[in-house]
């Protein structure tokens, strides 16, 4: 137990010495840091279809981080798609496993009169879905679970990319 504490402490000290700071680091007074404040000021535009709604909800959960009532300064526009391909094909040409690939292209736009595009990026996640000779309901539940996992992975990637953008911008201006 003592060894773990020592390793954790030494890793923290060595990372601090090289200038590493957590992206969501609060200020010295304990208030939300630059990245957290700016992330909370993002309004996520509507994303069509049920998978888009799931991604939008995942993004909102990560961006707000419990900071409700923050004025929105930015709009996040996201294009989202899910594609599937059969990867386990039986001799009779039936597919028993599908690889699902979620892709999201996003743009962060300032809510200024010129609608300035601040940054953009993309995210990609891969998951899988087994197809069994089961009831339709079970297949539908499995498909919903895969969609949720893809949305969570994409929301994590987009949030990190946005937080890194806000940290770079704060470092460059301050």
Neighbours of 42 (CB within 10 A): 23
Residue 21 in this model has a pLDDT that exceeds 90: no
For the question of whether the overall pTM of this predicted structure is more than 0.85, the answer is no
Q: Sheet with 42-44: list strands edge to edge.
A: 42-44, 74-89, 95-110, 117-130
Q: Which domains, from first to last, does the chain contain?
A: 31-173 (3.30.160.150)
d(CA 68, CA 58): 15
- Taking only the tens place, the pLDDT of each residue in 101-146 is 999 999 999 999 999 999 999 999 999 887 777 666 677 788 899 9
pLDDT in tens, 44-70: 999 999 999 999 999 999 998 766 677
H or E element: which one contains 76? strand 74-89
| pLDDT value, residue 110 | 95
Give pLDDT, residue 27: 47
Residue 41: how many other CB atoms lie within 10 Å: 17
CA–CA distance from 75 to each of 39, 45, 46, 113, 125 (Å)?
A: 11, 7, 10, 13, 23
Residue 152 CB neighbour total at 10 angstroms: 18
Q: What is the model's pLDDT at position 2?
A: 58
Rounded Cα distance, 30 and 14, in Å: 23
Cα separation, 172 vs 72, in Å, equals 22
């Amino acid at each position: 137990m003592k060894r773990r504490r020592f390793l954790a402490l030494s890793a923290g000290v060595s990372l601090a010495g090289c200038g590493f700071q957590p992206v969501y680091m609060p200020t010295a007074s304990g208030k939300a840091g630059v990245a957290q404040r700016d992330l909370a000021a993002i309004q996520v535009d509507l994303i069509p279809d049920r998978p888009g709604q799931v991604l939008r909800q995942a993004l909102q959960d990560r961006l707000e981080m419990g900071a409700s009532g923050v004025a929105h300064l930015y709009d996040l526009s996201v294009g989202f798609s899910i594609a599937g391909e059969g990867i386990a094909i039986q001799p009779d040409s039936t597919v028993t496993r599908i690889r699902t690939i979620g892709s999201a292209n996003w743009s962060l736009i300032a809510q200024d009169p010129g609608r300035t595009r601040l940054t953009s990026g993309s995210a990609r996640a891969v998951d899988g879905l087994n197809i069994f000779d089961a009831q339709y309901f079970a297949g539908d539940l499995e498909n919903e679970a895969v969609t949720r996992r893809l949305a969570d992975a994409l929301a994590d990637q987009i949030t990190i990319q946005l937080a890194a953008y806000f940290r770079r911008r704060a470092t460059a201006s301050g």
